[in-house]
Amino acid sequence: MYFSTALAAAASIALAQAITIPVSVGYGGLLKFSPSAITANVGDHVEFTFFAKNHSVTQSSFADPCHPLAGGIFSTFQPTTNISSKVFTVTIANTDPIWLYCGQTEGDHCQSGMVAAINAPATGNTLAAYIAAAATASTSTSPGNTVVGGVLEFPPKELSVTQTVTQTITASWTQNGTDYASTYVSTYPVTYYTDAVIPISTISPGGGSAPTVLPGVGSSSSPSSTASTKGNAATAVGVNGYGAMFGAVGAVLLGALALL
């Protein structure tokens, strides 16, 4: 049981640390993947963005560059006059080397050095050796018109949304039989990320009263003896039509703060 639990914990940590590695294909009109030497861990996402004019991401074997590996990764060709509207994302399942090339035959892209490798060894079958082999390879070929081994999609427009919450706090306590009270203003930010945001100007202010914030949470002004009228609840933000859901989640989180 302990062994299984440890493995599950390790897997959770690995997934939590997964990153997205951006790679440009043909940026600046160059016949290159940038970077061409890619190091990725299990769970990482390698995200390819295509630039003019027409390129692909195709997997080969080390021994046969510029020709597709059966069942290997293929983005299909992505013609564009500037930058592609879609990105091709590959999720890394293991750390075995993955050899990649652009299958464009006009201009012999692969033979001209438009190749890349994910987790290439430092010795033996290196990226440099793969580039050298590609330079003398026969005319490039491609596997067809179907995306394989990755996801071709419109990239999310991820935005950071920050709201500032200001609340007047009154704390009271009894010491040696004497009652004391202190009032101060606490201001703190709430930030989350989303791929689409409804402009805040189109949404009505939320109802209800703002939650209690404990001293030391966020930034606070000096205590004063009079209450300050800083308004009530923060303006609601709608996210992909889920404004109510975020409001409920925020209420639970802020309610938990009140119980501390």
Judgement on whether residues 164 and 214 belong to the same structural domain of the protein: yes
Per-residue pLDDT in tens (0 to 9) along the chain, 260 residues: 444 444 454 444 444 588 999 999 999 999 999 999 999 999 999 999 999 999 999 999 999 999 999 999 999 999 999 999 999 999 999 999 999 999 999 999 999 999 999 999 999 999 999 999 999 999 999 999 999 999 999 876 666 667 777 888 888 888 888 888 888 888 877 776 555 433 433 333 333 333 333 333 333 333 333 333 333 333 333 333 333 333 443 443 344 444 44
- Closest by CA to 161, choosing from 198, 132, 186, 188, is 198
Residue 240 belongs to domain spanning: 159-259
Judgement on whether residues 67 and 169 belong to the same structural domain of the protein: no
- Closest by CA to 202, choosing from 159, 248, 241, is 241
Judgement on whether residues 173 and 245 belong to the same structural domain of the protein: yes
Q: What residues contact 57, with CB distance under 8 A and at least 6 apart?
A: 25, 48, 73, 74, 75, 88, 90, 100, 102, 150
Judgement on whether residues 11 and 131 belong to the same structural domain of the protein: yes
Of 118, 153, 188, the domain-final residue = 153
pLDDT at 131: 98
CA–CA separation, 256 and 260 (whole Å)? 7
- Say how many domains are in the chain: 2
* Cross-strand bridge partners of residue 130: none
pLDDT at 185: 83
Q: Which residue stretches of the chain are H helix?
A: 2-16, 127-135, 243-259
Of 100, 129, 153, the domain-final residue = 153
Per the CB < 8 A criterion, the answer to whether 224 and 194 are in contact is no
Judgement on whether residues 141 and 47 belong to the same structural domain of the protein: yes
CATH number at residue 75: 2.60.40.420
Of 153, 172, 201, the domain-final residue = 153
